[in-house]
Amino acid sequence: MIFESITVGPLSVNCYIVGCEQSREGIIVDPGGDVELIFSMVQHHGLKIQTVINTHGHFDHLGGNGKVLAAFGARLLIHHADAPMLGRSAEVARKYGLQGENSPDADAWLVDGMEIPFGTCRLKVLHTPGHTEGGCCLYFEDERKVITGDTLFADSIGRTDLPGGSHEQLLESIRSKLFTLPDDVIAYPGHGPQTTIGHEKRCNPYF
């Protein structure tokens, strides 16, 4: 499996480009900006992008949605609870003194437990509300990898003081959906360095 991470956008979001080595079918997760970098990586691997996924609806994770979707003719997936945020991205960014772009509407919803195939690869959606109501993680079981969005970070967790956030719900999501994964699963968060599930179970100060 092809698995690349690029830091993009004004808030340094980790955008993930994942593809099947055999079919070259691919997905992009959280294209938060700097779309030229994303396009370059996709071209480097010769990927055919079919799907764009937003782990949640905050503006810094979806700022490049429009350009990426238009370039590849891909479909957009997000959890329905965060769908209203897609059309408010520019407005919210301005409140932080930043520029942002509204996203096109989603083509379909992420649902807890659903599997998304691309070539010979597949991922499983884990709904992990708490940072936002529709926050999701993406588990690549065969590769022992999980993209955690802003749910879980290295030695930290997502903030819960924004609309739709809940500290208690976030902790429960992590315990029930992420800490039940094998310890050797590598966690790739929405910001900052990677970690492992085992390390976070043992060392994360919030637990």
CATH numbers and ranges of domains, the chain: 2-203 (3.60.15.10)
Amino acid, res. 190:
G
Helix (H, G, I), strand (E, B) or coil at 156: strand
The pTM assigned to this predicted structure is 0.97
Contact 162, 109 (CB under 8 A): no
Predicted pLDDT of residue 46: 98
* Residue stretches of the chain with pLDDT short of 70: none
- Taking the C-alpha atoms of residue 167 and residue 35, their distance in angstroms, rounded to an integer, is 32
Whole-number Cα distances in Å, 126 to 55, 64, 137, 138, 180: 10, 23, 5, 6, 12
111: which DSSP letter? -
Predicted pLDDT of residue 34: 96
Contacts of 95 (CB under 8 A, 6+ apart): none
Predicted pLDDT of residue 92: 93
